[in-house]
């Protein structure tokens, strides 16, 4: 059995000598991209997480498009737009755009899609993006007006995330079938969407003139590989051409391979811990005590985790938003790593001997383990419940999760309004239910005066930090790892433009 060890070591050394394998992908013009998450539905409105967002960009189009690097808003299904009054927008639609089933896209489809997203009964995944819409008026087949419930400063940012789906087809096949065989106008069509693979083929009819373009690579395969390790092995052996969120440890090591490129890029994503301060999961939760929450904030060595585990340019954050976002002041109560103080606070709160509690997580296991180690050191015994993203979020919305180790990319919205309304202000994921925060966030989301919005966000963020409703952790740069013979744009907001990828 010692040969096992020796073998293993020899193999590790051998990896470095591995010659680049023939990349079959280039020959048959197929890009294989690996993802950790599986999509339960291919209906963009019911597909969660970043992968849902990418699906939206591949198979569907929204009215507008945002450049992933400059964040400039560009035309897409709409060619021009104007604000008629504080709550009404008008859009001129592109003529001659065809859905994948050959039917032309018109104002009726836009009305249907946006009103679908707006209707709470439809339970779309991200209600923030559609909830502000009151109604959509069809002026003529190529012109619509969107009426908002109230002033919505982020309306354009939300519209970027709302794909237009074909009314006729969707009504004919129904929710479930649409989730399996979706139809959109996007640069890629869904050819096959079952099992662990979704096969996208190029939409040769894709229109020019919008912010997106006709794909260069014919076939794109979305392969679900939940195990990072297997993803890494596949990248090395050439079975997968592209993957992201590869942990720094592995990324740094496979960078030495001759056939691999690694790019670390800044994102809007931050990591944080949500705490059930309102006691939704348990009326006797120790987390209702502000001292316990502060103790948790003091207990976590964010600096070390950021620099050693997350890596890249990751830095600790103090406020509940991405530092580069508008209104995201970092000038709030900060909790520097101090286990002694944390223990003292625990004792003051009456938990000298600690307690045990469920902690949910889904993304980076090593980070979660480090956090659990930190909590253990102050007497908080965590029962780690490691599940899929959608299951964890679902349970938080069901009021079952005391603590969630979470992260959020704000959908690339460069405004604190991209994150706060999702997690506070009585949203399904709001675990603090603090009226002060709710009032400030709701007001900031319904006025146009930027200076005043900034003041309101600062008020909310200060309250959140003071009460330690969240433990903000760090920024999360992403590692993109891909084949050397692939040229693919690196986005600033995680929205990868696969249609611009090409073989070298």
Partner 1 sequence: MRTFIARRLGVSLLVLLTISTLSFVLLKASGDLAISLAGEGSGADYVAFLRKTYGWDRPILVQYADWLWRLLRGDLGTSFYYGSPVLEIIAERLPVTLKLGAFAIFMALGVAFPLGSLAALRPDGWMDRVAMFIAMVGQATPIFWFSFVLILILGLNLAVLPISGGGTTAHFVMPSIALAFYAMPAIIRIVRGGMIEALASDYIRTARAKGLRPWAVIVRHALRNTLVPVVAIASVQFGFLLGGSVVVETIFALHGIGYLTWEAISQNDYPVVQASVLVVSAFYVVLTLLADLLNMLIDPRIRHD
Partner 2 sequence: MTKPISATPSAVLSRTAVLALLTRWCPHNWRLGLGSSILLLILLCAIFAPWLAPHSPYDQSLTDRLLRPMFMEGGSWAHPLGTDHLGRDYLSRLLYGARFSLLVGFGTIVLSAFIGIGMGVAAGYFAGKVDLIVMFILTVRLSLPIMLATLAIVGLLGNSLPLMMLVLACFLWDHFLVVARSLTLRLREAEFVLAAKASGYSDLRIMISEILPNLVGPLVVVATLEMGHAILLEAAFSFLGLGIRPPDASWGLMIAEAKDFVFFEPWLVNIPGLAIFILITAITLLGAGLQRLLVKD
Distance CA 228, CA 486 (A): 21
- Binding mask 161-190 toward partner 1 (x if CB under 8 A, else -) reads --------------xx--xx----------
Helix runs in 359-469, H state only = 365-377, 389-397, 420-423, 435-444, 450-467
384 touches partner 2 (CB under 8 A): yes
**In terms of Cα–Cα distance, which of 12, 128, 181, 47 is closest to 410?**
128
Nearer to partner 1, 96 or 283 (CB): 283
Shortest gap between Cβ of 369 and partner 1 (angstroms)?
17
Residue 303 phi/psi, 5-degree rounding, is: -60, -50
Scanning 11-19, 139-147, 165-173, 436-444 for contacts with partner 1 by CB under 8 A, the matching segment is 11-19
Question: Is the torsion defined by CA of 237, 497, 422, 472 positive or negative?
Answer: positive
CB contact at 8 A, 330 and 317: yes
Structure tokens at 10: 């020899």
CA-to-CA dists, residue 88 to 63, 119, 156, 202, 482, angstroms: 15, 18, 12, 36, 44
- Per partner kind, with CB cut-offs from 5 to 8 A, the member of partner 2, partner 1, none near residue 372 is partner 2
Scanning 4-12, 181-189, 300-308, 489-497 for contacts with partner 1 by CB under 8 A, the matching segment is 4-12
Q: Which of 370, 436, 447, 455 binds partner 2 (CB under 8 A)?
A: 370
- Per partner kind, with CB cut-offs from 5 to 8 A, the member of partner 2, partner 1, none near residue 370 is partner 2
Nearer to partner 1, 227 or 466 (CB): 227
243 touches partner 1 (CB under 8 A): no
**In terms of Cα–Cα distance, which of 429, 430, 431, 460 is closest to 444?**
460
CA-to-CA dists, residue 219 to 40, 45, 215, 481, angstroms: 21, 24, 9, 19
Distance CA 304, CA 371 (A): 11
Nearer to partner 2, 177 or 304 (CB): 304
Secondary structure (3-state) at 339: helix
Structure tokens at 265: 């890029």
CB contact at 8 A, 26 and 232: no
- Binding mask 328-367 toward partner 2 (x if CB under 8 A, else -) reads -------------------------------------xx-
93 touches partner 2 (CB under 8 A): no
Scanning 2-10, 156-164, 346-354, 457-465 for contacts with partner 1 by CB under 8 A, the matching segment is 2-10
Query: Using CB under 8 A, which residues numbered 360 to 389 contact partner 1?
Result: 386-388
Secondary structure (3-state) at 167: helix
Q: Which of 86, 209, 258, 373 binds partner 2 (CB under 8 A)?
A: 373
Query: Using CB under 8 A, which residues numbered 222 to 281 contact partner 2?
Result: 227-229, 232-233, 236, 247, 249-250, 253
Nearer to partner 2, 281 or 467 (CB): 281
With residues binned 3-state (H G I as helix, E B as strand, rest as coil), the percentages for the chain, rounded to 5, are 35, 25, 40
DSSP state of 496: -
Residue ranges binding partner 2 (CB under 8 A) = 1, 4-5, 8-9, 11-12, 15, 227-229, 232-233, 236, 247, 249-250, 253, 301, 304-305, 307-309, 365-366, 368-370, 372-374, 376-377, 382-384, 386
Residue ranges binding partner 1 (CB under 8 A) = 1, 4, 7-8, 11, 14-15, 18, 21, 38, 40-41, 123, 175-176, 179-180, 194-197, 223-227, 230, 233-234, 236-237, 239, 386-388, 390-391, 394-395, 397-399, 428
């Amino acid at each position: 059995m010692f040969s096992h060890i020796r073998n293993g070591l020899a193999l590790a050394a051998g990896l470095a000598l591995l010659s680049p394998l023939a990349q079959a992908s280039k020959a048959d013009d197929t890009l294989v991209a690996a993802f950790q998450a599986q999509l339960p539905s291919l209906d963009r409105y019911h597909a969660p997480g970043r992968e849902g967002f990418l699906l939206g960009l591949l198979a569907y189009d929204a009215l507008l498009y945002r450049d992933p690097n400059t964040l400039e808003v560009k035309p897409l299904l709409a060619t021009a737009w104007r604000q008629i009054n504080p709550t009404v927008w008008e859009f001129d639609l592109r003529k001659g755009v065809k859905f994948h089933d050959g039917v032309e896209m018109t104002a009726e489809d836009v009305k249907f899609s946006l009103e679908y997203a707006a209707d709470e009964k439809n339970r779309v995944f991200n209600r923030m993006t559609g909830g502000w819409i009151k109604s959509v008026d069809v002026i003529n087949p190529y012109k619509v007006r969107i009426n908002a419930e109230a002033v919505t400063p982020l309306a354009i940012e939300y519209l970027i995330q709302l794909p237009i789906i074909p009314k006729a087809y969707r009504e004919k096949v129904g929710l479930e079938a649409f989730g399996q065989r979706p139809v959109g106008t996007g640069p890629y069509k869904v050819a096959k969407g079952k099992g662990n693979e979704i096969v996208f083929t190029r939409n040769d009819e894709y229109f020019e003139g919008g912010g997106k373009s006709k794909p260069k690579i014919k076939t794109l395969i979305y392969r679900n590989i939940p195990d990072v390790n297997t993803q890494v092995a596949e990248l090395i052996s050439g079975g997968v051409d592209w993957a992201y969120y590869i942990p720094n440890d592995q990324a740094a090591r496979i960078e030495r391979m001759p056939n691999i490129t690694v790019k670390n890029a800044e994102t809007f994503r931050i990591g944080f811990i949500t705490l059930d301060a309102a006691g939704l999961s348990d009326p006797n939760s120790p987390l209702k005590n502000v001292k316990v929450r502060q103790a948790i904030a003091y207990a976590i060595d964010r600096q070390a985790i950021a620099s050693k585990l997350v890596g890249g340019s990751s830095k600790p954050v103090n406020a509940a938003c991405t530092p580069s976002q508008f209104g995201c002041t970092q000038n709030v109560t900060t909790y520097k790593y101090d286990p002694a103080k944390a223990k003292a606070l625990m004792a003051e709160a009456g938990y000298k001997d600690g307690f045990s509690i469920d902690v949910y997580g889904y993304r980076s296991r090593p980070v979660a383990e480090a956090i659990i180690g930190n909590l253990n050191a102050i007497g908080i015994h965590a029962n780690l419940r490691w599940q899929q993203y959608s299951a964890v979020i679902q349970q938080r919305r069901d009021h079952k999760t005391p603590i969630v180790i979470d992260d959020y990319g704000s959908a690339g919205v460069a405004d604190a309004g991209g994150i706060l309304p999702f997690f506070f202000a009585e949203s399904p994921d709001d675990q603090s239910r603090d009226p002060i925060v709710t009032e400030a966030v709701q007001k900031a989301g319904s006025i146009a005066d930027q200076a005043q919005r900034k003041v309101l966000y600062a008020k909310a963020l200060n309250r959140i930090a003071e009460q330690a409703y969240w433990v903000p952790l760090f920024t999360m740069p992403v590692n993109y790892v891909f084949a050397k013979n692939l040229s693919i744009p690196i986005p600033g907001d995680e929205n990868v433009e696969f249609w611009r990828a090409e073989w070298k």
